[in-house]
């Protein structure tokens, strides 16, 4: 019966035929619901996904949330009015649904006609009933590799398809009714140092994406793919190659691994077909030697004309020069019309991890206001072998969710983080290794970070008000037509403030870290706010509460009991990698060589790993918010044991790299080598050393896993 409706809706042959379908729909749906027990929207509604014209009119559609930041402009503003200052104190959890793919949840929930779509850290997709959170379908995924952190920031919708870009560089279209894969194509140009973590932005029959990997020596790339079949339509490289304008800003061959990733998101002025992107930090990270200069177009805001077959630069603004503190402009650009000196102007806002916040003229890139919203100290002093203190830390300043503009008060609200660190490099001459971080050393140990919510007067560029938050603030801001500003902190709190005055009206504790943005929608006359929560992952600071796991939460007015849904029917990962046949069917390579370690070290290392490392890398080394340390995805890095030892001793644990005793690091190495099938040299009698051992360079690590041997 439903198949008949699907066919008729897709290919109505006559006006009479379509009319008959419309007349039959209500009766058929009633019969379907009666016979199946369904109480929510049927699969028919799942297929009525937005067309290009609908996406362009997202600002007028207040019932749905169909673009990651509500509209292409990137300003998280909703005209919904049911939740206001008089009743916001009565907000409560309407429903919550556990997520099997636990990890650092960063996705923007997408809602269309009663179905909520959300991506999960390992690139899976969930379709939930937006009225109660019940699972409609899941499309699990298992990326072939994770280079840095397992995160995904959201899906795109169009023409009966759900689109997602993955850690292993795939661009995938799913059937919106079933979650079945329709096509799956390779996106990145270089899979050894690139990945996707940003949401899939669907614009005029294109999926526009930027690559991550700026800390892995990538060349940043923004690409467009056809929504029909995934065909590549165009590329724009953020690092100018030989013969192109801007190449002269890179000394020698430093451009070849120059970074400039576009990993967080993008904004589009749909009236002028102008794409706004903010390429990130240059490579190698934390090191200036060999690349001193402007390093275009890293740490910049770039306006691209995408009306033709290839993007063309309209203007750019260099936000930061000689970046050595990972201070990329993470904030997704926000386009808005605001009053400056009493005149309404087309503007764009941007922020970076150094805490700089800027408002520019959207037509020409002229800076109108620039101010620091986080404490700044030492960021002009290069990190040293002895260590130098600088603020903010690499997770500080303004993060990727940025803020939002409130038209009623002509103010821009921006969360930011206060956190300092000691920046210490291991070398001033890092070597590029495909698949590994291309930096002068590990990013600094995280400290007890706190947050700020600041209101900036768009007219004057001065702070209007600000509030301190107990934990780092990275979840962005959602502004409502009723004058409320919703925000969050990484400690798990969500807040409602008066957007104009800063008065706090409401607060709730979600139980888990919040690093994802808030979306809003209306269903059956009721308004909801929804957010995904989970682990802090690479944003973990020592003062954060322990996370209670990953879930999707929806808030609404009323006192009805919360509908609580377990992760029933979900799996954390797909049973096999989701690449092409030639990629996924190749047998994993085996480790070669041997290394000294004892059974006692393996047993001790297993305990240390469980305590210090498993929260990021997984109990079975499979990778959660950090890369796998065993298996096929690990083997593709082609590391030797000496390189693995440097990574372990210098970069782990993530929140406090290099902080464990030398004996513990040696034990963890013994555990990892045993797990990766490296046989013990000397018959398990010789311990793994606490210092470097030249012979470890001859031990090549493969993709086969072995269970660790128990201690006697």
Q: Which pLDDT band, with edges at 50, 70 and 90, does 708 fall under?
A: low
Tell me, what's the pLDDT at 49?
79
- Residue 573 in domain: no
Cβ atoms of residues 540 and 613 within 8 Å: no
Calpha distance 487→638 (Å, rounded): 42
**Domain CATH number, residue 686:** 1.10.760.10
* Average pLDDT value for residue range 223-236: 98
- Say whether pLDDT at 17 is over 50: no
- Residue 153 in domain: yes
Tell me, what's the pLDDT at 652?
86
Residue-by-residue DSSP string for 133-193: --EEEEE----S--SS-------EEETTEEEEE-TTSEEEEEETTT--EEEEEE--S-TTT
Q: Are residues 241 and 340 in the same domain?
A: yes
Q: Are residues 373 and 501 in the same domain?
A: yes
Calpha distance 654→659 (Å, rounded): 10
* CB proximity list for 309: less than 8 A, separation 6 or greater: 234
* Average pLDDT value for residue range 251-271: 97
Tell me, what's the pLDDT at 390?
97
* CB proximity list for 116: less than 8 A, separation 6 or greater: 109, 110, 127, 128, 129, 130, 133, 521, 530, 552, 554
Give the count of beta carbons closer than 10 Å to the beta carbon of residue 43. Answer: 18
Q: Helix, strand, or coil here: 32? A: helix
| Average pLDDT of the chain to the nearest whole number | 90
Calpha distance 371→452 (Å, rounded): 14
Exposed, middle or buried by CB within 10 Å (0-12, 13-18, 19+), for 372? middle
State the residue range of the domain holding 75.
Answer: 56-565
- Say whether pLDDT at 361 is over 60: yes
Q: Are residues 548 and 667 in the same domain?
A: no
* Average pLDDT value for residue range 194-213: 98
- Residue 454 in domain: yes
How many domains, in total, are found in the chain? 2
Cβ atoms of residues 608 and 648 within 8 Å: no
- Say whether pLDDT at 112 is over 70: yes
Q: Are residues 348 and 423 in the same domain?
A: yes
Cβ atoms of residues 261 and 213 within 8 Å: yes
- Say whether pLDDT at 285 is over 50: yes
- Residue 668 in domain: yes
Tell me, what's the pLDDT at 632?
78
Tokens of 280: 């990130």
Name the domain boundary from 501, 535, 565.
565
- Residue 11 in domain: no
* Average pLDDT value for residue range 359-364: 98
Calpha distance 575→186 (Å, rounded): 20
Q: Which residue would you say has higher pLDDT here, 331 or 639? A: 331
Q: Are residues 265 and 166 in the same domain?
A: yes
- Say whether pLDDT at 160 is over 70: yes
Tokens of 235: 């590329």
- Residue 710 in domain: no
- Residue 154 in domain: yes
Which of 427, 401, 438, 431 is CA-nearest to residue 147? 438
Q: Which residue would you say has higher pLDDT here, 2 or 648? A: 648
For residue 24, report the phi and psi dihedrals to the nearest 5 degrees: -80, -20
Q: Are residues 376 and 266 in the same domain?
A: yes
How many residues are recorded in the chain? 712
- Say whether pLDDT at 582 is over 60: no
Q: Which pLDDT band, with edges at 50, 70 and 90, does 581 fall under?
A: very low
Tokens of 604: 């001790």
Tell me, what's the pLDDT at 48?
57
Least-confidence region, from 30-39, 155-164, 332-341: 30-39
**Which of the 8 DSSP states describes residue 678?**
P
527-557 tens-digit pLDDT = 999 999 999 999 999 999 999 999 999 999 9
Q: Are residues 601 and 546 in the same domain?
A: no
* CB proximity list for 497: less than 8 A, separation 6 or greater: 413, 453, 467, 484, 485, 486, 487, 503, 504, 505
- Residue 18 in domain: no
3's enclosing H/E stretch is: helix 2-10
Calpha distance 595→238 (Å, rounded): 42
Tell me, what's the pLDDT at 298?
98
Q: Are residues 88 and 149 in the same domain?
A: yes
Q: Which pLDDT band, with edges at 50, 70 and 90, does 12 fall under?
A: very low
Instruction: List 417's β-bridge partners, or say none.
Output: 397, 451
Calpha distance 403→463 (Å, rounded): 14
Q: Are residues 97 and 176 in the same domain?
A: yes
Which of 567, 544, 664 is CA-nearest to residue 615? 544
* Average pLDDT value for residue range 106-128: 97
Q: Are residues 286 and 364 in the same domain?
A: yes
**Domain CATH number, residue 438:** 2.140.10.10
Calpha distance 42→127 (Å, rounded): 12
Tell me, what's the pLDDT at 392?
97
638-661 tens-digit pLDDT = 889 998 998 899 888 877 888 899
Beta strands in 278-428 (DSSP E): 300-305, 312-318, 334-340, 343-351, 356-361, 367-372, 388-390, 404-406, 411-418, 421-423
Q: Which residue would you say has higher pLDDT here, 43 or 468? A: 468
Q: Are residues 495 and 605 in the same domain?
A: no
User: In the chain, pLDDT over 70 holds for what percent of residues?
Assistant: 91
Q: Which residue would you say has higher pLDDT here, 8 or 222? A: 222
Q: Are residues 515 and 599 in the same domain?
A: no
What is the edge-to-edge ordering of all strands in the sheet holding 493-498?
A: 77-78, 478-480, 484-488, 493-498, 504-509
């Amino acid at each position: 019966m439903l198949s008949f409706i699907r066919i008729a809706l897709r290919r109505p042959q006559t006006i009479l035929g379509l009319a008959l379908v419309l007349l039959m729909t209500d009766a058929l749906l009633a019969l379907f619901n009666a016979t199946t027990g369904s109480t929510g929207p049927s699969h028919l509604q799942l297929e009525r996904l937005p067309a290009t014209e609908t996406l362009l009119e997202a600002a007028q559609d207040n019932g749905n949330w169909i673009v990651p930041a509500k509209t292409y402009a990137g300003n998280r503003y909703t005209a919904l009015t049911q939740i206001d200052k008089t009743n916001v104190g009565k907000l409560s959890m309407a429903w919550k649904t556990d997520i099997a793919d636990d990890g650092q949840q960063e996705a923007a929930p997408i809602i269309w006609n009663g179905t909520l779509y959300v991506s999960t850290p390992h690139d899976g997709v969930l379709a939930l009933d937006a009225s109660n959170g019940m699972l409609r379908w899941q499309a699990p995924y298992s990326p072939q590799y994770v280079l840095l952190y397992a995160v995904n920031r959201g899906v795109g919708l169009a023409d009966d398809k759900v689109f997602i870009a993955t850690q292993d560089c795939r661009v995938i279209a799913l059937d919106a009714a079933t979650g079945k894969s329709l096509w799956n194509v390779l996106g990145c140009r270089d899979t050894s140092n690139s990945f996707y973590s940003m949401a899939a932005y669907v614009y005029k029959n294109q999926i526009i994406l930027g690559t991550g990997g700026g800390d892995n020596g990538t060349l940043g790339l923004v690409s467009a793919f056809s929504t029909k079949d995934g065909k590549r339509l165009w590329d724009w490289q953020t690092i100018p190659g030989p013969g192109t304008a801007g190449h002269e800003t890179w000394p020698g061959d430093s451009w070849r691994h120059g970074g400039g990733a576009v990993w967080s998101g993008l904004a589009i002025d749909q009236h002028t077909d102008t794409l706004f992107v903010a390429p990130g930090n240059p490579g190698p990270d934390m090191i200036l030697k060999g690349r001193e200069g402007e390093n275009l177009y890293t740490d910049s805001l770039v306006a691209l004309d995408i009306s033709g077959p290839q993007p063309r630069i309209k203007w750019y603004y260099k936000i930061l020069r000689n970046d050595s503190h990972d201070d990329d402009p993470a904030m997704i650009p926000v386009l808005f019309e605001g009053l400056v000196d009493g005149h309404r102007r087309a503007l764009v806002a941007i922020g970076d991890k150094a805490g700089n916040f800027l408002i520019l003229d959207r037509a020409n890139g002229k800076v109108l206001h620039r101010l620091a919203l986080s404490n700044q100290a030492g960021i002009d002093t290069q990190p040293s072998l002895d260590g130098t203190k600088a603020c903010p830390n690499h997770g500080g300043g303004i993060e990727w969710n940025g803020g939002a503009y409130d038209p009623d008060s002509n103010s821009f609200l921006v969360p930011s983080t206060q956190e300092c660190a000691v920046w210490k490099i291991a070398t001033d001459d890092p070597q590029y290794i495909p698949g590994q971080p291309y930096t002068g050393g590990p990013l600094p140990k995280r400290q007890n970070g706190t947050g700020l919510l600041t209101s900036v007067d768009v007219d004057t560029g001065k702070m209007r008000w600000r509030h301190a938050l107990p934990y780092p603030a990275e979840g962005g801001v959602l502004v409502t037509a009723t004058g409320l500003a919703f925000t969050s902190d990484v400690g798990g709190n969500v807040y409602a403030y008066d957007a104009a005055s800063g008065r706090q009206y409401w607060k709730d504790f979600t139980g888990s870290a919040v690093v994802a943005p808030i979306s809003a929608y209306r269903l059956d006359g009721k308004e909801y706010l929804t957010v995904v929560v989970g682990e802090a992952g690479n944003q973990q600071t020592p003062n954060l509460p322990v996370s209670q796991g990953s879930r999707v939460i929806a808030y609404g007015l009323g006192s009805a009991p919360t509908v609580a849904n377990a992760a029933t029917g979900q799996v954390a990962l797909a049973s096999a990698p989701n690449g092409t046949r030639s990629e996924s069917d190749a047998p994993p390579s085996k480790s070669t060589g041997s290394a000294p370690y004892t059974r006692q070290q393996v047993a001790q290392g297993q305990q240390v790993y469980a305590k210090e490392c498993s929260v990021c890398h997984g109990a079975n080394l499979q990778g959660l918010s950090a890369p796998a340390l065993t298996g096929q995805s690990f083997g593709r890095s082609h590391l030797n044991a000496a390189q693995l030892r440097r990574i372990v001793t210098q970069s782990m644990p993530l929140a406090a790299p290099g902080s464990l005793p030398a004996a513990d690091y040696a034990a963890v190495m013994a555990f990892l080598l045993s797990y990766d099938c490296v046989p013990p040299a000397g018959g398990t009698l010789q311990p793994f050393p606490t210092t470097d051992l030249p012979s470890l360079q001859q031990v090549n690590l493969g993709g086969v896993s072995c269970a660790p041997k128990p201690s006697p």
